[in-house]
């Protein structure tokens, strides 16, 4: 997927209403107050699984860098947001709303913007590049 397509998906999600129920969406998943777009995924392996994994990781990183450049041009520098305290609260069975609970299970850091009444986050897990649009405060 191209950076232009990633930006288009984020724009679509920013304009979309949030659903009343949690479930799958056309680009990933969604729930009350959030949309999560799975911009890249795990594509399987060929004859050399280690080389394939490394190539996929490099591709995801390159796609993230392109997306971050595009969003930074639009909205300025993002905050680098640690999910460590969110992960710790979740491990203690404290109340942590989605999408933050799910994200803290998959990654340690996010790039985060506050645009009008929404938070936009981009993060890279082991297997996916994710974009999040939410009205739920991460703090």
Residue 126's pLDDT band, with cuts at 50, 70 and 90, is confident
**pLDDT at residue number 40:** 85
Q: Please identify which residue in the block is written with the tokens 């080389």.
A: 51
Residue range 44-63: mean pLDDT, rounded = 76
**pLDDT at residue number 49:** 62
pLDDT 10s digits, 56-109: 888 999 999 999 999 999 999 999 999 999 999 999 999 999 999 999 999 999
Q: Is the predicted pLDDT of residue 137 greater than 90, yes or no?
A: yes
Q: Please identify which residue in the block is written with the tokens 């041009």.
A: 73
For residue 79, the cross-strand partners are 112
What rounded mean pLDDT belongs to the chain?
92
């Amino acid at each position: 997927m191209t950076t232009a397509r990633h930006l288009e998906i984020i724009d679509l999600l920013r304009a979309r209403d949030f659903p009343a129920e949690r479930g799958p969406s056309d680009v990933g998943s969604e729930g009350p107050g959030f949309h999560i777009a799975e911009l890249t995924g795990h594509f399987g392996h060929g004859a050399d699984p280690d080389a394939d994994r490394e190539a996929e990781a490099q591709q995801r990183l390159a796609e993230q860098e392109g997306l971050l450049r595009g969003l930074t041009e639009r909205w300025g520098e993002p905050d680098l947001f640690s999910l460590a305290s969110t992960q710790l609260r979740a491990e203690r069975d404290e109340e942590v709303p989605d999408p933050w609970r799910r994200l803290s299970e998959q990654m340690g850091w996010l790039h985060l913007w506050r645009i009008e009444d929404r938070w936009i986050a981009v993060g890279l897990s082991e297997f996916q590049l994710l974009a999040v649009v939410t009205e739920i405060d991460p703090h």
